[in-house]
């Protein structure tokens, strides 16, 4: 692997868990993981951690029994924490569960087919905290009823969570101290996979066409901005919702990629107004002349994370050939230079999907895997990284999933 070493870290004690969506850096510097079981019925999400100092993986807690919904209860399972695992300055993890796991002995489950079936339907997304010091899970109860929580952000100053539900695509606020759930309404048909905060606690996400939506942290008023995530000129932006968002090195702007047919890297500057608030860094991953719409949607960029070199790292899947490998890429937002670092290629790991990415305080990068079991992490260790020096601190960690 160019510029470093790539390691594979499978979760061997969870052989049937097949996806990892929840991933975050804790205030203690450890990497926290939500291992999910969404393609085999009757599994619960499991919380793990990885210690960059000892390089040890720890299996902490099974979530479903701790929140009173054991995975074998016959309902759609609490099998998943999606982009809803966030570290807090108090050392806790703030999480919400997500829907997609089938009931035990059911090969498949869809929320629409069991919406009115009290025995089979998903009860709703539980809001919870996890304390790594004693493995204690505190269940705040169900926030969105009958739905999962697909993306979430934490405003620690105001003690609020902001989230997006699935399948109905509603924005919500959860008041932690009051244990109160507030539904702000539906924002479209296609779930954005990211909801994020600026330094002032203003909240952002996107609508179905990639237009930035701004949520006032005091009034909760939702405003559609003129800034739109970039797309090919012959499109109108449909399905161009935000997928991954990270802060810039100075913390003032946000780099993002979309869950769309076009692999553009973009930068949103909340200090600017109108269309000037969106900067297009160009299409950064596609074969020359490759315009197969369906394949582009399947192979959107993921795992966006900031490196110690102030460059943006992410993963793209080369769906245009029969190998369909994931490729680690790096972009310099200042010079515009883009590099291919290498493919994620390990024995027995075929048709891998990368779900998300984070850094540790030393600058190692972690990419979570989906749709293969046992699920696992891939750790990219840049040559410049050493345990003698921390290049990131808590202030650099994003407060969203």
Domain coordinates in residue numbering, the chain: 4-396
Q: Residue 23 is encoded by which pair of tokens?
A: 């991933």
Total-model pTM = 0.97
* Domain 4-396, architecture per CATH: 7 Propeller (2.130)
The number of CA neighbours under 13 Å toward the Cβ of 259 is 17
Query: How many Å apart are CA 349 and CA 151, to the nearest integer?
Result: 27
Cα 261 to its chain centre, rounded Å, is 19
Given a contact cutoff of 8 angstroms between Cβ atoms, the answer to whether 41 and 363 are in contact is no
pLDDT for 311-367, tens place per residue? 999 998 876 666 678 899 999 999 999 999 999 989 878 767 899 999 999 999 999
Burial (CB < 10 A; 0-12, 13-18, 19+), residue 7, is middle
Supply angle C-alpha 292, 295, 300, rounded to 5. 120
Beta bridge partners, 370, equal 19, 353
pLDDT for 257-306, tens place per residue? 999 877 899 999 999 999 999 999 998 887 666 555 555 555 689 999 99
Who contacts 361 (Cβ-Cβ below 8 Å, separation ≥6)? 25, 29, 52, 390, 391, 392, 393
Supply angle C-alpha 163, 186, 79, rounded to 5. 45
Q: Residue 335 is encoded by which pair of tokens?
A: 């010079």
- In the chain (401 residues long), the average pLDDT of successive 10-residue segments reads 97 97 98 95 97 98 98 96 98 97 91 93 98 98 98 98 98 98 97 97 98 98 98 89 96 95 92 97 76 58 95 86 81 93 87 90 97 94 96 97 97
Torsion angle in degrees (nearest 10) through CA of 271, 273, 275, 276: -50
Supply angle C-alpha 183, 240, 218, rounded to 5. 30
Q: What is the pLDDT of residue 322?
A: 64
Q: What is the pLDDT of residue 18?
A: 95
Query: How many Å apart are CA 337 and CA 28, to the nearest integer?
Result: 34
Query: How many Å apart are CA 13 and CA 389, to the nearest integer?
Result: 32
């Amino acid at each position: 692997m160019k510029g470093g070493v790539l390691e594979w870290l499978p979760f061997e004690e969870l052989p049937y868990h097949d996806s990892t969506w929840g991933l975050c850096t804790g205030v203690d510097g450890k990497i926290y993981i939500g291992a999910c079981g969404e393609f085999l019925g009757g599994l619960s999400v499991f919380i793990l951690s990885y210690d960059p100092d000892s390089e040890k993986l720890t299996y902490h807690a099974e979530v479903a029994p701790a929140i009173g919904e054991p995975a074998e209860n016959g309902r759609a399972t609490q099998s998943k924490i999606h982009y809803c695992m966030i570290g807090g300055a108090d050392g806790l993890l703030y999480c919400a569960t997500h829907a997609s796991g089938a009931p035990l002995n059911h090969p498949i489950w869809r929320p629409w087919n069991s919406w009115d079936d009290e025995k089979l339907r998903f009860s709703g997304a539980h809001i919870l905290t996890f304390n790594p010091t004693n493995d204690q899970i505190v269940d705040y109860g169900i926030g969105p009823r009958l739905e999962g929580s697909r993306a979430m952000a934490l405003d620690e100053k105001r003690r609020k969570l902001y989230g997006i539900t699935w399948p109905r695509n509603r924005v919500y606020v959860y008041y932690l101290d009051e244990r109160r759930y507030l539904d702000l309404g539906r924002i479209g048909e296609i779930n954005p996979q990211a909801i994020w905060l600026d330094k002032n606690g203003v909240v952002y996400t996107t609508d179905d066409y990639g237009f930035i939506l701004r949520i006032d942290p005091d009034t909760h008023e939702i405003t559609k901005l003129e800034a739109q995530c970039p797309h090919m000129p012959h499109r109108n932006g449909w399905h161009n919702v935000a997928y991954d968002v990270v802060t810039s090195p100075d913390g003032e702007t946000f780099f993002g990629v979309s869950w769309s047919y076009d692999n553009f890297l973009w930068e949103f500057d909340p200090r600017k107004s109108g269309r000037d608030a969106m900067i297009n860094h160009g299409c950064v991953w596609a074969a020359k002349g490759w315009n197969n719409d369906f394949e582009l949607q399947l192979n959107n960029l993921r795992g966006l994370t900031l490196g110690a070199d102030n460059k943006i790292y992410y993963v793209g899947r080369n769906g245009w050939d029969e190998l369909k490998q994931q490729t680690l890429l790096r972009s310099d937002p200042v010079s515009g230079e883009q590099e291919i670092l290498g493919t994620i290629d390990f024995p027995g790991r075929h048709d891998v999907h990368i779900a998300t990415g984070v850094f540790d305080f030393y600058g190692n990068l972690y990419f979570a895997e989906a749709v293969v079991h046992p699920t696992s992490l891939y750790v990219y260790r840049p040559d410049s990284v050493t345990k003698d020096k921390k290049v990131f601190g808590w202030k650099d960690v994003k407060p969203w999933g």
